[in-house]
Amino acid sequence: MSSKKKKKLTPIQQEYQNFAKSREPKRKVLRNCFRAFIVGGIICTIGQGLQWFFINYFDFTEKTAGNPATAVLIIISVLLTCFGVYDHIAQWAGAGTIVPVTGFANTMASAALEHRSEGYVLGVGGNMFKLSGSVIVYGVFSAFVVALIKITIKWLGGM
């Protein structure tokens, strides 16, 4: 709740708020960051290994090997989501599984699985982008901002 919308609490409500805060478990931020770093790094290392595989065994260039490596990571993520394994990994690792492209694939697949009983068009198609729509919007927006910064730096460097 924002500070403007906070209503006046009665003394009993304030006492309960203080009691609830004292009982709330403390977050283990350092441990969570370490887990996210390790799992995110493992996912990225697997991606690099896949890219190396496509370069050495299928004669892709370094520039073109990223696309099939990403596709394989997405397929693995969707399969692990379907078998219920990805959720356990994400529960342990937190943001380490959400930030890479595998996290996006997980949100799409889990939403599709959750709403499949409602039909393919209105259930799967209509609800699949509810969770991942924000990722798309903010991803496109952040790419736009980064492109503007890059163009500005390039323009300032050419002066």
List the chain domain ranges.
30-114
pLDDT digits (tens, 9 = 90+) for 10-46: 999 899 999 988 888 888 999 999 999 999 999 999 9
Rounded Cα gap, residues 31 and 18, in angstroms: 26
Mean pLDDT of all residues in 71-78: 96
HEC secondary structure over 17-45: HHHHHHHCCCCCHHHHHHHHHHHHHHHHH
pTM of the model: 0.71
pLDDT digits (tens, 9 = 90+) for 41-68: 999 999 999 999 999 999 999 999 999 9
